[in-house]
Amino acid sequence: MVYTEMVVNKYDLEAFISFPSSLYKNDPNWIPPLFIERAEHLSKKNPGSEHIKWQAWVAKKEGVVVGRITAQIDRLHNALYGEDTGHFGMIDAIDDNEVFSALFAAAEEWLRSCGARKITGPFSLNINQESGLLIDGFDTPPSIMMPHGKPYYSKHIGLQGYEKGTDLLAYWMRCSELYFSPSLTRLMNQVRNKVTIRCINRKRFSEEMQIMRGIFNSGWQHNWGFVPFTEHEFATMGEQLKFLVPDDMIYIAEIDSIPCAFIVGLPNINEAIADLNGRLLPFGWAKLLWRLKISGVRTARVPLMGVCQEYQFSRIGPVIALLLIEALRDPFAKRNIDALEMSWILESNTGMRTILERIGATPYKTYRLYEKQF
């Protein structure tokens, strides 16, 4: 018999966080997240907690944890789309539809009690954090801040009455294969004298992060499920990026001295923590710092990129994106970064998808967002 239990204390939370490590222990592409990071993510230290109310459950069978799920209400999402939407996330379970049914029943009952009549997800805990269910691309490890999953998840979620909302794509590119055709090069050269591409100014790091937040919220505002970043969220992200990302892997584009676009290249920390089993003690910290600062990693991810709304449908907008991608080429080469993931890209974003495919990137993972009316 399968039953669910609410996560209500630190011991429950430890079981919730540690369950995937047992579920994926035989998956060669599973990378255990750092326990300390997951615990902070599911705490008041996460600035998203200022606008997200959530509850977690574990499913048990014969006293053993066999699944987990969260349900959440995002006040910022509801301010944009109405009060009747809730979300699910962090779904992991054994291949047993009874387990999935029990987990979703618990999540949906809680969401109904909060007034929700529609549920979308998965989000951990909202769309600006880990998003989507992996449905294609199980044969490679996830990049930093991207989810992994089991191939059977989509079947069981479908059996609970969930349908596709939209798909998110991750693109992969070998840095040596980055190619700007003569026609693209001509376009880029035509606007170089109009656009300034500069590194982030570390002396004004906090201010620079808020500039990037404004660009992101402007450029993404009409995308599926968009929720704006708050000042606190971007400031917290800035503190993390300051430690993890060199100055020459964050670029801001300006036109007439006014910021209009940005890009962030993030070393793939998953590569550095793959063998730490989620733990930084006793020697994990030393290994992580050595790999990030000394030996380096060989892959990276672009998790954030944005072009202001006013330029997105202009002739110059796509060229600005190309110039930002080009700016990362030398810093990556200097650090012997061999390959790059660009993620995530909405399947409907044909403009960005065309740009990426024209310069040598290929889609290699697909993540699905689901929705269901109660």
Identify the domain boundary among 149, 165, 181: 165
Tokens of 159: 């059996």
pLDDT at 170: 98
Angle between helices 316-327 and 182-191 (to 10 degrees): 100
Residue 332 has pLDDT above 60, yes or no: yes
In this predicted structure, the answer to whether residue 292 has a pLDDT above a threshold of 80 is no
Whether residues 191 and 306 fall in one domain: yes
- The verdict on 61 and 179 lying in the same domain is no
State whether 243 and 326 are in the same domain: yes
Question: Which amino acid belongs to residue 253?
Answer: A
For residue 294, give the DSSP letter: I
Are 134 and 283 found together in one domain? Answer: no
Q: What is the pLDDT of residues 47-82, one digit of tens each?
A: 999 999 999 999 999 999 999 999 999 999 999 998
Confidence of residue 278 (pLDDT cuts 50, 70, 90): confident
> Residue 100 is which amino acid?
F
State the pairing for strand pair 64-74/85-93. antiparallel
Query: Do 150 and 79 meet the contact criterion of CB atoms below 8 Å apart?
Result: no
Q: Give the residue from 227, 280, 215 showing the smallest Cα distance to 39.
A: 280
Residue 282 has pLDDT above 60, yes or no: no
Pairing of strands 299-307, 339-346: parallel
Strand partners, 263: 251, 305
Q: How far apart are CA 362 and CA 227, in angstroms?
A: 27
181 and 161, same structural domain?
Answer: no
Query: From the centroid of its chain, how far is CA 293?
Result: 23
Q: Do 155 and 9 have their domain in common?
A: yes
What gap in Å lies between CA 290 and CA 80, rounded to an integer?
Answer: 44
Structural domain containing residue 137? 2-165
How far, in Å, CA of 68 to CA of 125, rounded?
14
Q: Say what the pLDDT of residue 57 is.
A: 98
Mean per-residue pLDDT over the chain, rounded: 93
Per-residue pLDDT of 134-171, as tens digits, reads 999 999 999 999 999 999 999 999 999 999 999 999 99
Q: What is the mean pLDDT of residues 108-129?
A: 96
Contact criterion met (CB below 8 Å) for 180 and 207: no
Instruction: Assess whether 9 and 152 both reside in one domain.
Output: yes
Q: Are residues 150 and 239 in the same domain?
A: no
Of 119, 143, 165, the residue that ends a domain is 165
**pLDDT at residue 10, rounded to an integer:** 94
Q: How far apart are CA 259 and CA 257, in angstroms?
A: 7
Does the pLDDT at position 273 exceed 90? no
191: CATH: 3.40.630.30
- What is the spatial distance between Cα 359 and Cα 352, in angstroms, rounded to a whole number? 11
Cα dihedral value 363, 148, 137, 144, nearest 10: 40
Q: What is the pLDDT of residue 241?
A: 84
Same domain, 197 and 273: yes
302, 345 Cβ separation under 8 angstroms:
no
pLDDT at position 287 is 64
Residue 116's nearest CA partner among 74, 152, 162 is 74
- At 213-253, the pLDDT tens digits run 999 999 999 999 999 999 999 999 888 888 888 889 999 99
pLDDT of residue 337 exceeding 90 = yes
- This prediction has a pTM of 0.95
The full DSSP string for 88-139 is EEEEEE-S-HHHHHHHHHHHHHHHHHTT-SEEEE-EESSTTSEE-EEEE-TT
Residue 294's pLDDT is what?
Answer: 54
For residue 291, pLDDT over 70 is answered with no
Q: Across-strand partners of 213?
A: none
Residue that is last in its domain, among 165, 184, 213: 165
pLDDT tens string 297-321: 899 999 999 999 999 888 899 999 9
Centroid of chain to Cα 162: 22
Q: How far apart are CA 207 and CA 243, in angstroms?
A: 16
User: Do 361 and 222 share a domain, yes or no?
Assistant: yes
Per-residue pLDDT at 301: 96
pLDDT digits (tens, 9 = 90+) for 167-197: 999 999 999 999 999 999 999 999 999 999 9
Beta bridge partner(s), residue 255: 195, 258
If one counts the domains in the chain, the total is 2
